[in-house]
Amino acid sequence: MTQEEKISPPRHIAIIMDGNGRWAKNRGLPRTAGHAAGAEAFRKIANYCRELGVEYLTVYAFSTENWKRSQEEVSGIMRLLGLYLKEALRDMRKNRVRFCFFGDLTKLSPKLQKLCLQAQEESADYDVQVNFCLNYGGRQELVQAAQRFAADVQQGLVQPQELTEDMLSSYLYSKDVPDPELIIRPSGEKRTSNFLLWQSAYSEYVFMNVLWPDFSPEHLDEAIEEYHRRNRRFGGV
């Protein structure tokens, strides 16, 4: 299929980048090797999304629950993130990716926090917006939104009964980002694992039997085609 023949992608695609550990295990490699291969798959898919004209790509990179893993695995993931961000800062002009971060970054090392901030600031004018979910949990996102709303009430800025769905959305990390039309989970698991709980109310889920490091542009095409076959009713008929 040529680029022109491809059906138009949704504006916002979200991906749960899962299956790195199994990919490594299948090859007799340490789990960190799977995460390195997963980072490679992400580079390819982010570029492909830009080519397709996707406006927002939200990726689940590290959840609030992933701290339960061994210290070795967690530090391996953090090291890879640091390397990736340094590389992204170097190649910023070429890739034209605009970085945003969803999650509680205060739990990351000061060095990594600085890289996140720098990537966000230096890429503010670029095209495809990549929302990197780091130490992200859908429940944690709602808790921090409730805390910030309560603080605004306490300061007399707003009344509790004035809270609307749009107002609540504005307290989320995804403020100003439209809800994802399509959420893809590779790896064969069929659950959300605390991803975008609020924003996914009417998203179409596509679950795929491929491990994230093996995920290719063809898999993304397949998911987009599947999305176009769905009949979205939003509660209507």
| Catalytic annotation, residues | 18, 66
Taking the complex as a whole, the smallest distance from the CB of residue 168 to Mg ion amounts, in Å, to 29
Work out what residue 193 binds among ligand IPE, Mg ion, none; the CB cut-off runs from 5 to 8 Å by kind.
ligand IPE
Work out what residue 9 binds among Mg ion, ligand IPE, none; the CB cut-off runs from 5 to 8 Å by kind.
none
Taking the complex as a whole, the smallest distance from the CB of residue 79 to ligand IPE amounts, in Å, to 13
In the complex, the residues that contact ligand IPE under the rule CB under 6 A are: 16-22, 60-63, 65-66, 77, 187, 189, 191, 193
Binders of Mg ion in range 45-104 (CB under 5 A): none
Largest CA distance in the chain: 59
Closer by beta carbon to ligand IPE, 77 or else 223: 77
Taking the complex as a whole, the smallest distance from the CB of residue 22 to ligand IPE amounts, in Å, to 3
* 18 near Mg ion (CB under 5 A): yes
Q: Where are the alpha helices (DSSP H) in the chain?
A: 20-26, 31-52, 71-90, 92-95, 110-122, 138-154, 165-169, 217-229
Q: Is the dihedral of CA 230, 185, 37, 53 positive or negative?
A: positive
By C-alpha distance, which of 13, 18, 6 is closest to 215? 18
Distance CA 176, CA 18 (A): 26
Radius of gyration of the chain (CA): 18
By DSSP bridging, strand 182-185 and strand 128-136 are: unpaired
Closer by beta carbon to Mg ion, 132 or else 149: 132
Residue number of the CB closest to ligand IPE reads: 21
Contact footprint for Mg ion (CB under 5 A): 18
